[in-house]
Amino acid sequence: MGSTFPIILDVDTGIDDSLALLYTAATPEAEIVAVTCVGGNVDARQVERNTRAVMELAGRTDVEVALGRERPLVRPVETTPETHGPQGLGHAELPPPTKPLSDRHAADLFIDEARRRPGEITLVTCGPLTNLAVALLREPDLPRLMKGWVLMGGAYRHPGNTAPTTEWNIHCDPDAAKIAFSAWGESAIANGHPRPVALGLDVTEKAKVVPHHIVALARAAGSAPDDSIALARGEDPMQATRSVASNRIVRYVADALRFYMEFHSRYDGFYGAFIHDPLAAAAALDPGLITTRAVAVDVELGGTLTTGETVTDWRGVWGRPPNVDVAIDADADEFLRRFVDRVGRLAAARGT
């Protein structure tokens, strides 16, 4: 199948961002126009290094990687090494990237590419919305120039993962999120183009990887041994320190995800990992994976306990027109099947 779906990914790489990059690179119909970087899971400079290294792992040195704004619009920088590890890739280690960083700013890249190909490109944001907010302030017509915007962010009918009601990507730069939701939604209402599609924790926590998925990935890649989380010297797989899979992409995925699994084991009571960002990328490429509902959404900026909350008017009490299509369900089983199949095929093609 030819490349038929132009996409820009804006990431804060991050374990699950890296898996979104691999999934998109492994999807034949996806044309990755560029990847842009924003601080979030780790600081912005580490994000761009991680992103370039992951794209090289995927064999996609042809894709431009650009850095955007290095700090939130108003608030101080926050990162989450306890979730993603000190370098952002869990226990995984990748060679330093060799392809240089683009000299374009991420916001300029959004605008330039949208103007060059009006109505063709879908933007997928997997991190804080700082770059998008900057782009919207520079070019208010950006929503009309893009085909669409899909984001991983928010908690709509679900507890938060950062504070009781807030999700990490929105929490990191709520001011940017408020600008992006408002500007894109108002443009959609006025001009009739698609509303933003938001995948919050309500659906992304359905995409839960557990060790048998890693085993299935290793088998799909033709990697040995099957149990890519375990060490050859016979350690308990749940206490392993390095994957011994023969395939480098499988080794990377296993080592990165093991950190995530250990985090959730400590804090959430299960040994597995929510892979939020790959589900958002998959839903952008195939909207049939999710069910959405059009609602009015705003972002709280002044709450003592709720700053960063995606306040959602499910009952229509505001009387505002909908500005966001919020995902309310996802076919997580089909997504995970595709993830194993597609990334497994990419891994097999890339070899050891």
With a CB cutoff of 8 Å and minimum separation 6, the contacts of 227 are 211, 215, 218, 237
Q: Which of 91, 105, 171, 276 is catalytic?
A: 276
What is the mean pLDDT of the segment spanning 86-92? 95
* Chain centre to alpha carbon of residue 55: 14
CATH of residue 83: 3.90.245.10
Q: Say yes or no to pLDDT of 140 above 80.
A: yes
CA-to-CA distance for 227 and 243, rounded, in angstroms?
Answer: 8
Of 237 and 276, which is predicted with more confidence? 276
Predicted confidence at residue 130, as pLDDT, reads 98
Q: Is 76 exposed, middle or buried (0-12, 13-18, 19+ CB in 10 A)?
A: exposed
Q: Say yes or no to pLDDT of 226 above 80.
A: no
Q: Say yes or no to pLDDT of 240 above 80.
A: no
Query: Catalytic annotation on 91?
Result: no
Q: Is residue 219 part of a domain?
A: no
Q: Is residue 269 part of a domain?
A: no
Q: Is residue 91 part of a domain?
A: yes
User: Could you write out the DSSP letters of every residue in 130-191?
Assistant: HHHHHHHHH-TTHHHHSSEEEEE---SSS--SSBTTB-HHHHH-HHHHHHHHHHHHHHHHHH
In the 3-class helix/strand/coil scheme, how is 19-63 assigned residue by residue?
HHHHHHHCCCCEEEEEEEECCCCCCHHHHHHHHHHHHHHCCCCCC
Q: Is residue 346 part of a domain?
A: no
Q: Is residue 258 part of a domain?
A: no
Of 234 and 222, which is predicted with more confidence? 222
Q: Is residue 115 part of a domain?
A: yes
Element (H, E) at 209: strand 208-209
First vs last Cα of the chain: how many Å apart?
A: 25
Q: Is residue 298 part of a domain?
A: yes
* Structural domains of the chain, count: 1
The whole-model pTM stands at: 0.95
The answer to whether 65 and 11 are in contact (CB under 8 A) is no
The pair of three-digit structure tokens given for residue 299, joined into one six-digit string: 């972002």
Range of the domain at 196: 5-206+274-328
Predicted confidence at residue 352, as pLDDT, reads 82
Q: Is residue 232 part of a domain?
A: no
What is the mean pLDDT of the segment spanning 231-243? 54
Which pLDDT band, with edges at 50, 70 and 90, does 243 fall under? confident
Closest CA to 51 of 5, 81, 19: 19
Only one residue has tokens 């490429």, namely: 285
